[in-house]
Chain A
Amino acid sequence: MKTFDYVRPATVSDAVKAAAEPGSAYLAAGTNLLDLMKGGVARPDRLVDISRLPGLDRIERLPDRALRIGALVRNADLAHDADFAATYPAVAEALLSGASAQLRNAATVGGNLLQRTRCAYFHDAASACNKREPGSGCDARQGENRLHAVLGWSEACIATHPSDFCVPLVALDAVVEIEGRAGPREVPLDALHRLPGDTPDHDTVLEPGDLIVALRLPAEAASFAAHARYLKLRERTSYAFAVVSAAAMLRIEGGVIRQARLALGGVAAKPWRAFLGEAVLAGATPGEDVFRRAALAELKYARPSGDNAFKVELARRILVRALTLAAAGTPERVPALPASPFSSLAGAHA
């Protein structure tokens, strides 16, 4: 690991000033950043430790019934907050399906949003990677790429965004609150992460110094609690990143879907809001036929980026399965194996 300077500013504005200097990186828990630094993938000159900034570790209900989650709230604390889990069950399930208990105890909400791709070529400093080193090429294109993107990728980069948490969040219209050099601003989560295009080195729209201070779920996000699931296919039962995942949330009134919220994980460089699928479902009676049509519509423009054509069909099927389980009703408690299609808990099989 390259050495670095360490600073611990006392206020958000001092942190923003320090991090705006070239070569700076924010440190919260460091569960992703330290891993990247050990591998020589991240080489910051200065760490700006924000882990003790006051006021960023709260979960609060705002007067307009939106929920504001401070950026330093730990993943485990959010997932186990009883009110949060009851109101946004698919988000709690996604959180609990990610990483391990140790990592969830440390990792923060803001850090989860900003974790880097798990593409093996990005992590191997000896490989060509346009995300790590712009212009160097992409060894994943001709390499081991069965887990790579099937939506929104470019010739420059076929990496996926690894977060589970972001998938239901993007479907719920989450908003990211940012403090930057020019003051505070907000960005919809759907607009935070970028598709790679020719500049895959920029994961997000954040500028130097920008600090995520909170995440907000609008009041309407609470209206899907009765029919909300997150499902995740992985190569082992627990503690693995998604091959593909899906969040499905439905507001059903009088036997009809008034509104559907859908998103896919593991398929693109960003959490993939499934607007095309949602449009098919609005006003429909829940059932396998319409779920299948929604999945077909959403994956219509998907194309393999390598040995991953199977992911397109897998994404369709997991959307159908997630919708079927969501329509059957949210389980009373997050299943023993969160987000697993193989859970033995009653209600997990539709």
Chain B
Amino acid sequence: MNFSISLTVNGIRREVALEDPRVTLLDLLRERLDLTGTKKGCDRGQCGACTILVDGRRINSCLALAISHDGADIVTIEGVAQGKELHPVQAAFIAHDGFQCGFCTPGQIMSAIGLIGEGQAGDDPERIREGMSGNLCRCGAYSGITEAVLEAQKKLAEAGSRRDAA
């Protein structure tokens, strides 16, 4: 069976022919589109390393069949910076040592962007920790991650209100 799907990935429209229906969004990104920033950790929805945004929502790309997502708008870690300017969440992870080995980091950052967009956590560190519990960090950079999310959220809110005022 052959299937063809169309995706928007980091703002670029991509047509992909699938000869096998088993391909997940994660494998499609990594193996077909050479976007290897999204990491394959457990491949079973337990670690969060594969987190991406699909139609603005963070999900585990390892548990999403590509064929079922024809037409989806996808954002990966490769698509969040503006040219050479890092996304505020990326910058905050560096400023707060929100990683050590870095393997879980793309997933952490995409999850944090999703969390901030959901707008449920506010500035409560406990709500942020709970909201980030789907992303494991074996190096244990959790306290830096929580601080980074708090700061990035604040900066994004300030930038938003500056834009509103302008």
Interface residues of A (CB under 8 A from B): 1, 3-6, 8, 27, 29-31, 34-35, 38-39, 47, 49, 51, 76, 80, 99-103, 105-106, 237-239, 336-338, 344-345
**Interchain CB contact under 8 A, B130 and A6:** no
Question: A99 — which chain B residues lie within 8 A by C-beta?
Answer: 134
**Interchain CB contact under 8 A, B118 and A1:** no
**Interchain CB contact under 8 A, B3 and A6:** yes
**Interchain CB contact under 8 A, A35 and B63:** yes
**Interchain CB contact under 8 A, A100 and B22:** no
Interface residues of B (CB under 8 A from A): 1, 3, 20-22, 24, 43-45, 48, 51, 57-60, 63-65, 67-68, 111, 114-115, 118, 120, 124, 126-127, 129-135
**Cα distance A4–B114 in the bound complex, in angstroms:** 32
Min CB–CB distance A317 → chain B (angstroms): 23
- Do A80 and B120 form a contact, CB below 8 Å, given A102-B134, A239-B134? yes
Question: B131 — which chain A residues lie within 8 A by C-beta?
Answer: 101
Question: B126 — which chain A residues lie within 8 A by C-beta?
Answer: 336-337, 344-345
Question: A29 — which chain B residues lie within 8 A by C-beta?
Answer: 63-64
Q: What are 17 contact pairs spanning A and B, CB under 8 A?
A: A4-B22, A5-B21, A6-B21, A6-B67, A29-B64, A30-B63, A30-B68, A34-B63, A35-B63, A100-B48, A101-B58, A101-B115, A101-B131, A102-B45, A102-B48, A105-B59, A106-B57
- Do A103 and B120 form a contact, CB below 8 Å, given A6-B21, A31-B63, A34-B24? no
**Interchain CB contact under 8 A, B58 and A102:** yes
**Cα distance A4–B64 in the bound complex, in angstroms:** 15
Kindly report which residue of chain B lies nearest to residue A5, judged by CB atoms: B1
Question: B130 — which chain A residues lie within 8 A by C-beta?
Answer: 237-238, 336-338
**Interchain CB contact under 8 A, A106 and B64:** yes
Min CB–CB distance A345 → chain B (angstroms): 8
**Cα distance A100–B134 in the bound complex, in angstroms:** 5
Kindly report which residue of chain B lies nearest to residue A31, judged by CB atoms: B63
Selected from B21, B44, B67, B111, the residue in CB contact (under 8 A) with A102 is: B111
- Do A101 and B60 form a contact, CB below 8 Å, given A3-B21, A38-B44, A47-B21? no
Min CB–CB distance B148 → chain A (angstroms): 17
Min CB–CB distance B134 → chain A (angstroms): 3
Question: A337 — which chain B residues lie within 8 A by C-beta?
Answer: 126, 130
Min CB–CB distance A17 → chain B (angstroms): 19
Best-buried of B22, B24, B63, B120 by chain A (most CB within 10 Å): B63
Selected from A6, A35, A105, A239, the residue in CB contact (under 8 A) with B57 is: A105
Question: A344 — which chain B residues lie within 8 A by C-beta?
Answer: 126
Min CB–CB distance B56 → chain A (angstroms): 10
Question: A80 — which chain B residues lie within 8 A by C-beta?
Answer: 118, 120
**Interchain CB contact under 8 A, B133 and A238:** yes
**Cα distance A99–B45 in the bound complex, in angstroms:** 10
Min CB–CB distance A125 → chain B (angstroms): 14
Min CB–CB distance A185 → chain B (angstroms): 28
Question: B24 — which chain A residues lie within 8 A by C-beta?
Answer: 34
**Interchain CB contact under 8 A, A336 and B124:** yes
**Interchain CB contact under 8 A, A31 and B45:** yes
Q: A31-B63, A105-B57, A105-B114 are in contact. List 17 more A-B contacts (CB 8 A).
A: A3-B21, A4-B21, A4-B22, A8-B68, A27-B68, A30-B64, A34-B24, A35-B63, A47-B21, A76-B118, A99-B134, A101-B58, A101-B132, A102-B45, A102-B48, A102-B51, A237-B133
